[in-house]
Amino acid sequence: MLDIRNLEVAYGESMVLRDISLQVKPGEVVCLMGRNGVGKTTLVKSMMGILKPRSGSMVYNGLDMTRISADKRAKAGIGYVPQGREIFAQLSVHENLLLGLEAAREKRACVPQEVLDRFPVLTEMMSRRGGDLSGGQQQQLAFARALASSPALLILDEPTEGIQPSIVDSIRDVIQSLKASGNLAILLVEQSLDFVREVADSFYVIQKGTVVAHGGREDLTDKLVRDYLVV
């Protein structure tokens, strides 16, 4: 579903990502890990077309997306839940969800019921402003907004950051349910080792802008954690 080869991304003359290669298959949850400031969010933004790579390639669902704009990537079926949620605070929950439909490959007038069923708390808050929701509720709203377009690839940037344990459990359950469907590919940026071990099939670790470790969930050893993840 996603095949990135030898990607390099820079801010001006400062190289941030060097020779990054990774793959995500349908029905698979792949976790992107690393300490703060190593380039994880930069990589995600380059996947979404927000940042342009200096070199390398990104192929999504057999299509070369390396130079395709962000809006066309979304229309092609790439969903994105950004770090910090970035919901529209002055719009209602319902209006935020409707904006998610703008990226749908087929025109829709309403949010799919199956999306609302995954986040039942949102159904009770449709008329409330997004900015009035708690952090955890905003995270669920951002997740639901991304799912409203029925993406084939979903990119989640730190979805459990700063939210209460009950919401973390809910997000874990949604990810596991989506994974069980077998159709959706998920790339997850995550710091929590426990969360990764519960939902991920495989992982990549980034250090100083390059991949330094890769493997299945069973390869996430204590030594690897000490070497590359412990602060």
Which pLDDT does position 162 carry in this prediction? 84
- What's the pLDDT at 225? 87
Strand arrangement, sheet containing 185-189? 78-81, 153-157, 185-189, 29-33, 202-207, 210-216
Q: What's the maximum distance between 2 C-alpha atoms anywhere in the chain?
A: 51
* The pLDDT of residue 106: 73
- Mean pLDDT per segment of 10 residues, for the chain of length 231 residues? 93 88 93 88 91 93 92 91 87 92 77 89 90 91 92 92 89 91 89 89 92 90 85 66
Structural domains of the chain, ranges and CATH numbers in brackets: 2-86+154-228 (3.40.50.300)
For 174: left if phi > 0, alpha if psi spans -120 to 50, otherwise beta; the answer is: alpha
Q: Roughly what angle, to the nearest 10 degrees, separates helices 165-181 and 135-147? A: 10
Query: Rounded to whole angstroms, how far apart are CA atoms 78 and 115?
Result: 16
- What gap in Å lies between CA 128 and CA 130, rounded to an integer? 6
In the three-class reduction of DSSP (H, G, I as helix; E, B as strand; rest coil), residue 224 is classed as helix
Dihedrals phi, psi of 43, to nearest 5 degrees: -65, -45
Q: Which stretch of DSSP H or E encloses residue 212?
A: strand 210-216
